[in-house]
Amino acid sequence: MENSKALRTWLDDFHLNHPLVIAGPCSAETEVQVLEIAHELKNSDVTVFRAGIWKPRTRPGGFEGVGAIGLKWMQRAKEETGLLLATEVATPAHVRLAMEHDIDVLWIGARTAVNPFAVQEIAEVLRGTDKIVLLKNPVNPDLSLWLGGLERLYNADIKKLGVIHRGFSTYEKTKYRNNPEWQITIDLQNRFPDLPLLCDPSHIAGRRDMIQDVSQHALDLNYDGLIIETHCNPDNAWSDAAQQVTPTVLKQMFLDLKVRQKTDTENEYNLRLSKLRAQIDNYDEKILEILGNRMKIADQIGMLKSEKNVAILQNQRWNEILDKMILEGEEKGLSGDFVMQLFKAIHQESIRHQEKVYKS
């Protein structure tokens, strides 16, 4: 993806004065439902109408989509509203049907993105297409796997590429349905700054009352657009009811969300920013110095335990430290989640240092 700068062209072709918005129901349920939502969205900032036709469910027995008949409903919605169309594809057969029914944007979902064989098969069917193809992040937090999927699509001569950040599955319970792991997308942006990046706040949040906050966070990080599940009667939606908003709520979100400038060319701004960044750099160097000294003490603890043949992991001590640090962190304005993740990483590095002493 050396020439990834060319990938941004399709986004610029829309000539939008706001982030790209893809919206519509999680699932196409009936023709009436599809048309009603599309008409509600046509006079808004929505550019692309989305609807799930095939729904890969975690467990069998749930609603798995209406199938190809829903593509005809979407075609009618396009004819009546002028909105472009988007849907998820998970197999070569899905791709062929979507292309036959004039779907403009095809995205590969998180469960499919985790399988290189499936992505490669889809890439071969799409080879050389002028359709927009978006790849959601894999369900597990693996940047290499995400990039590998992109490379497969790019190598199939698909130039209108982009990615969707929908969060990552985690064993630990958090306030999110799928933990955002924002740093992974920051790393992706740093490697491919011209790759169009959209956020799926519906799947990250899992709750409609959190969608605006997640959307704003994405815009603050310079995302190019949003894909938001929208339903005229979300409480009675056939899938993912809790994370869908009404068209009215969506339109109000557009008014409330703030789009940030990429930068500011004023000399005063740049001077102040440089000074603040210098302070950050100074503190970062001090943090590393403190952590290095801390690990030297961990080495000494490892030597003492090794001499006395004592187990490295001391759960009671660890839990006491974690509880204390979370409380002290909150007093300093740090979130409990951040402090927990920070000290888990520090604790794991301490264990690694002590294990190294045991092996020496």
Model pLDDT for residues 51-93, shown as the tens digit of each residue: 999 987 677 767 878 999 999 999 999 999 999 999 999 999 9
Higher pLDDT, 219 or 268: 219
pLDDT at 152: 97
Average pLDDT over residues 192-210: 96
CATH code for 4-256? 3.20.20.70
Residue 2, pLDDT > 90, answer no
Residues in the chain: 360
Residue 5, pLDDT > 70, answer no
Give one word for 277, left, alpha or beta, with left for phi > 0 and alpha for psi -120 to 50: alpha
Q: In 322-341, which positions are buried (b, 16+ CB within 10 angstroms) versus exposed (e)? A: eeebbeebeeeeeeeeebee
Residue 3, pLDDT > 70, answer no
Helix, strand, or coil (residue 284) = helix
H-state helical runs in the chain: 9-12, 31-41, 69-81, 92-100, 110-113, 116-126, 143-155, 182-191, 201-205, 211-220, 247-256, 267-308, 315-331, 336-359
In whole angstroms, give the CA distance from residue 173 to residue 359. Answer: 35
pLDDT at 346: 93
Task: Please give the structure tokens belonging to residue 259.
Answer: 């789009």
Confidence label for 358 from pLDDT (cuts 50, 70 and 90): confident
pTM of the model: 0.79
pLDDT at 270: 80
Higher pLDDT, 156 or 172: 156
Task: Please give the structure tokens belonging to residue 19.
Answer: 């982030």
Name which of 23-32, 84-93, 188-197, 303-312 the model is least confident about: 303-312
Let me know: does 112 contact 145? Beta carbons within 8 Å.
Answer: no
pLDDT 10s digits, 308-351:
888 888 888 888 999 999 999 999 999 998 999 999 999 999 99
Instruction: Return the percentage of the chain with pLDDT > 90, whole number.
Output: 74
**Average pLDDT value over all residues in the chain:** 92
Nearest Cα neighbor of 224 from 41, 23, 18 is 18
Query: What are the sequence ranges of the domains in the chain?
Result: 4-256, 267-359
Q: Is domain 267-359 annotated with CATH 1.20.59.10?
A: yes
